[in-house]
Structure 1
Amino acid sequence: MKNLLTRRQFLGQASCAAVGSTALFSTLLNLRMASTAAAQGIPAGGDYKALVCLFFAGGCDSYNMLLPYGDSEYAEYAAIRADLALSKANNQILPLTLANPIGKELGVHHMMPEIQSLFNNGNAAWLANVGTLVEPTTKAQYQAESVILPLGLYSHSDQIRQWQTSVPQDTSAIGWGGRTADLLHSLNNNDNISMNISIAGNNTWQAGNEVFEYSISPNGSVGRRNYDATWGVNPAMNAAVDNQLDSDYQNLFQSTFAKASKSAIDSHLEFSAATDAVPDFATTFPEGNHLASQLRMVATSIAAHTTLNMNRQTFFVQLGGWDHHDEVLNNMDGMVPIVSQAIDSFYSALTEINEQNNVTLFTASDFGRTLTSNGAGSDHAWGGNHLVVGGAVNGGNVYGTYPDLYEGSPIDTGRGRLIPTTSVDQYFAELALWFGVSPQDLPTVLPNVTNFYTPGVTPPLGFMQMS
């Protein structure tokens, strides 16, 4: 849906438009041309695909999610993590069966048996030591500051934005999901509802130049009539509001407001009708699990995509509370099962509606965390491990380079703050290519991608089945 810019969005985009007006209009023109070309190239009968971004807000301690299991690498891990280490002797690590051995035995947190099964069954993959980079960076270059480094490297707000924009050297307000939607939204046959749907409110990832997120709740679209039902507004008041919105206004602002409001109501009614018609899933989503509630709504929206005439969709969900400066082990024991059970139910629901091969869920977070302890907790760091789930994933493998975990290693900037060995651009380029972005358009979506990958026949990392 081509939403009208809010004042916040306009100012945010204007402030980050360091490019001149000529370059800006050229970029917009190229986006429209590429969007038109993409629409013309869609196969007859449709070609549905969806990306689901699961954001761990706060900075996830992912080296206690994907961690060493072999004796020698576990000893190294236990030495640097000290009181933060999971106990192999007490069965706190579930072993993974890697389809392609990497010279290390790895496992997952003992409260993630569902993720272990998804991985071992070939429906999930891990990406090792991923993070924001402007260009390939060595420890010597980092220390000498002889390369461009991400802005606000260990700052929550900066790194959240950079993970969602994939432009670490700038304060851009346009996300790579939004730029992707600008390119591909014309593949959909519905101008009333955005292809970018958020179940977790406003986010940068889905903000584009033309396309913005359509925010819903875990219970569905929230429109004026939802509030009417809650508060018992008189039907006559509804009729009066509708009459106002249908009126013609000479004042530009009144007219724009009325049209935008009416469009929002119409979108709500169309989206609600489509999702309300979706039968209940046989899959059971765990009660009291907020992430599972969000993913159930995503699955419901996906089940309604034919009714909504959608061929491409993105979804944004979020689970916060990962800033564990204290009590890492106890906090993760409580939070990791929420993730594992929610993702497992989501994948089961996708299988139930036969969409598992058309939907890919991937995780992101502010940053990794220090391998060393601050006394029961860990602090802000850089590279971390991430999960990709879906039928189109080349699962059962760990992609990228899983690092040696000892203090003072060639990628340790101090306290186990690891320089990423895989950039977010490589990670996101693979997803974008699978989603339908052409190799020649990758630099439009990911401006730094050619610093790490030359678009061509071979994918950046190989974790997606390109078909």
Structure 2
Amino acid sequence: MTTTDSRTGCDDCTRAERAGAVTRRGLLRGLLGTGAALVTLPVLETVSTQVAYAANWTGDTVVVISLRGGFDGLNAVVPVGDPDYLARRPGIGVPAAATVQLDSFFGLHPGLSALKPLYDNGSLAVVHATGLPNPNRSHFDAMVEMENAAVGSSTRTGWIGRTLGLTTPSGPFAAVQMGWGDVPDSVIGPVPVLAMHDLGDFSIAGVNTSSDRARWSTALSMLHAGAPAPVLAATQTTVGALSTVAAITATSYHPANGAVYPSGDLGDTLKDVARIIKSGLGVQAVTLDVGNWDMHAGLGPTGNPRAGWMWNQLVELGSALAAFAKDMGSAMDSTTVLTLSEFGRRAYENDSNGVDHGWGNATFVLGGGVNGGQVYGTWPGLGVDEMVDGDLAVTTDYRTVLADVLRNRVGATVEQLGTVLPGYSGPTTFGLTKPRA
């Protein structure tokens, strides 16, 4: 059943399935096991500027976690110092005494307590009151706008795809979508993106030996030899990855440094992400989805924030991120993790003990190159005259976060940022991350 936002409507809270046709791409998809998906087809528009910037990748591996459904930043990173917070949320707000204190004004929801050591050691930062430059409360439209990051432009590629287009791809694992989510618009661009549900099941269905894999790889390459360039590139990426994944999964994986991932999809996916990054495959960008944040009802009680929908979601998110950082060890020095969500939630709770679609939000940034231990951004306040139609105002354009990471951790020049973030004219750095040595 589709949930409806009491103010704006939420007709796009669920997405209809689309039937597929029999094509070369569909044939290859059908041959892959249940844990595998076909690579996305690259979009070859606006690539003239990309050749000039081609170079070997020397930046961080950027891991983008999309919190699908509208993450409630107000209950995740609680403005305990704002006197209007609990007045807006008398039934679902988190009292100051129940939070994990970050500073004199903000506290973490107790479900995110696993992240506190990362905040304390300076590898985790929060940017609050961030989001799209203009309110957009449609799941689909807001996601597309955020992933394209090309407001007012006719550009159809995504910001990650354009970033990858600035360099020479490092191989079939340059860009990877992991887990059970859809391949996001953010990776659309000239570089094929390898999409897989998990490493263990990334294979051709029924093919279990190296000799059989070699025969199938040859056959698939011959079948697609006359295909258009984008289809051929996608096929070559998939075929090239099959033997590599088989080699990686030939031995059992044991997370390093005593890391223990939570059970469930997110823990399993981040464990695979750590595994492929540490395997030295030249991973430049990874995307993954964490859904189930559209909490229009039953978010959780103020009297017991250690229960309810929000609690369960945040415990999984916090413990999975903490395990990932521990497992990665020194590899986190060259890895930056971003959480993004299409919009935040309304400041006022609704009659169902939930929150409808809002605007301003909280973003987590994690990595060895992060100037952490701080909540960034200008707090706009939750007073009636300080909000926008009952929502937390956005005081930091989310593209400012992207620009800082791209400039300092990926090595993009100011000129290149104009290609990756067309139309953006804000700061290119604001102290969030350290420049790479």
Q: Is the 8 A contact 1:166 1:424 kept in 2?
A: no
Partner of 2:106: 106
* 2:403 maps to 1:419: no
Q: Is the 8 A contact 2:66 2:289 kept in 1?
A: yes
DSSP-derived class of the 2:400 partner: helix
Per-residue CA deviation, residues 191-234 of structure 1 (Å, 9 max, x unaligned), is xx04111103543354243113211223346121x5435xxxx9
* 2:285 maps to 1:314: yes
Q: Is the 8 A contact 1:425 1:448 kept in 2?
A: no
- Partners of 1:227 and 1:179 lie apart in 2 by 36
Partner of 1:124: 124
DSSP-derived class of the 1:377 partner: coil
Describe the shift of the 1:158–1:242 C-alpha distance in structure 2 as closer, same or farther (beyond 3 A). Answer: closer
Partner of 1:332: 310
Question: Which of 400, 424, 432 is matched with 1:449 structurally?
Answer: 424
DSSP-derived class of the 2:189 partner: coil
* 2:75 maps to 1:60: no
1:69 CA drift (Å):
2.9
Question: Which of 178, 182, 189 is matched with 1:199 structurally?
Answer: 178
Describe the shift of the 1:227–1:185 C-alpha distance in structure 2 as closer, same or farther (beyond 3 A). Answer: farther
Describe the shift of the 1:227–1:423 C-alpha distance in structure 2 as closer, same or farther (beyond 3 A). Answer: farther
Q: How does 1:226-241 map to 2 (within 5 A)?
A: 226-229=205-208, 241=216
- Partners of 1:221 and 1:464 lie apart in 2 by 36
Q: How does 1:238-249 map to 2 (within 5 A)?
A: 241=216, 244-245=219-220
* 2:88 maps to 1:76: no
1:438 CA drift (Å):
1.3
- Partners of 1:243 and 1:430 lie apart in 2 by 43
Identity %: 23
Partner of 1:93: 99
Per-residue CA deviation, residues 2-21 of structure 1 (Å, 9 max, x unaligned), is xxx9799999969xxxxxxx
Describe the shift of the 1:94–1:228 C-alpha distance in structure 2 as closer, same or farther (beyond 3 A). Answer: same
* 2:278 maps to 1:303: yes
> Which structure has greater helix proportion?
1
- Partners of 1:317 and 1:397 lie apart in 2 by 25
Q: Is the 8 A contact 1:112 1:340 kept in 2?
A: yes
Partner of 2:322: 344
DSSP-derived class of the 2:313 partner: helix
- Partners of 2:419 and 2:322 lie apart in 1 by 34
- Partners of 1:437 and 1:275 lie apart in 2 by 34
Where structure 2 has 5 or more consecutive residues not aligned to the other structure, the ranges are 1-23, 27-37, 301-307
Where structure 1 has 5 or more consecutive residues not aligned to the other structure, the ranges are 15-23, 98-103, 134-148
1:440 CA drift (Å):
1.4
- Partners of 1:32 and 1:355 lie apart in 2 by 29
Query: How many residues matched?
Result: 392
- Partners of 2:313 and 2:375 lie apart in 1 by 23
Partner of 2:52: 33
1:289 CA drift (Å):
2.6
Partner of 1:143: none
Partner of 1:464: 433
Per-residue CA deviation, residues 276-295 of structure 1 (Å, 9 max, x unaligned), is 56852233333423211111
Higher Rg: 1
DSSP-derived class of the 1:371 partner: coil
- Partners of 1:255 and 1:132 lie apart in 2 by 35
1:128 CA drift (Å):
1.1
If the length of structure 1 is used for normalisation, what is the TM-score?
A: 0.75
* 2:367 maps to 1:387: no
1:424 CA drift (Å):
1.6
RMSD, matched Cα: 3.3
